[in-house]
Structure 1
Amino acid sequence: MPATTVFPAPDLPVALIHDSDQTFPVRRIFCVGRNYAAHAAEMGNEVDREAPFYFTKSAHALCLSGGTIAYPPGTEDCHYEMEFVVAIGSPAFRVDESAAMASVWGYGCGIDLTRRDLQGAAKEKRRPWDLGKDFENAAVLASLVPATDFGVIGEQEIRLDQNGLTVQQACLSDMVWSVPEIIAHLSRFYHLEAGDLIFTGTPAGVGPVAPGDVLTGQIDGLAPVELTISVAE
């Protein structure tokens, strides 16, 4: 008799694809820390230029653009962080920078929500950032755009508006570590596979959200990401 699960297995989270009925199954979410020098400075940190570093979010932290979420539990200081997201579409393991982009399926606008007070407390005690970074609805994602429709990553503007006021603004070229560098480095430690997402870091200007806030993030050539924050549960 074949084995059965003790409860129904949850469905794999999926991202939407712009102007398509297809969806993109999400396997894992990797996030790059301190990838814009100005953001690192505003947080009181220096950029480690020897190698990028990462934290992760559960795939079930995915939150599709356009929705309304409750203010996250367990925090009094939740922050927005606008990000350029890379969607992996084919295997990459120990790839060179010159071959890294062959594994990219597409790109999207994302918002990394952060329970900053919990992250700060973890940093002080030299503990992992999980409570600050990996929670429900913490990885907000717009519909993805195929890489062939986006073109070369360069001077595209990345911007986030909070209630109609621009709070973050930079260019993708401001990233300390480029997308090929990130993929090549990350692939030394993981077998990257189709369905993996990489949030590539946030520009300066991060700040708190409050119930009633409307966040709208844009990157030239991509579908915008939108999120409304409601009262806490």
Structure 2
Amino acid sequence: MAVNPLIESELLREIAPYTLSGYQLFRDIVEIDGAIPAKFKTLFVAVAAINKGYTDVASRALSIAQELGLTNKEAISGLILLSSLRGEGAALAYQGVISQVYPRDPKSPIVDYEHQVVAPGEAEADFRKYFGTIPVPLQKMLDLSPKGADAYYLMRKGTIYCNTIEPKYAELCLVAVLASDYSPMVARHIGAARAVQATDAELVEAILCSVPSAGIAAVMAAAAHL
């Protein structure tokens, strides 16, 4: 498994035993199977790191995930999530990391995607089912830009229900990313993760996956919503 450069920092090794001892414990939680398999936790670290702009951290984490058995298809789940949650820049940065860790066979055929059509009322029904009620911002979208609401629905459906990992792990990855941003939206996705049978032990581990890119303050902010 790759050596962690922060743990190996000569400066910190000279003067900061508490810092490094604590960080090593966080690394152990992420890199050893627990409530969540380690291959998914290191995936979450990689996706959260891209979200914060730390491509080197993401590359190390995804390499560890591969060593732990994460498949290329499972790694692509982060690309789906970032495309929806953080847009082109983050998604393409993560795609670059995937290409390094899982090199694509240049002879592999490139296939087109199947264009999805949203039936009338489909997006609204999904919003009600997922959120319990339609949030005000989405109701405004439905009223003012139905096509925008359909687009939002399709991308959210792709992130959670049609991803390459099961919905529980997709929601837990969202929790890790939102925790890394100190985002209040983490509360909604903690609830959504529970709705697909995520346990509190899994939620805590997902939140801890934000530490490599956002520090221990991210844990305090997100864990308050458990």
Compute the TM-score of the two structures, normalised by the length of structure 1. 0.20
Compute the TM-score of the two structures, normalised by the length of structure 2. 0.21
Task: Indicate the structure with greater strand content.
Answer: 1
Which protein shows a greater Rg? 2
Task: Indicate the structure with greater helix content.
Answer: 2
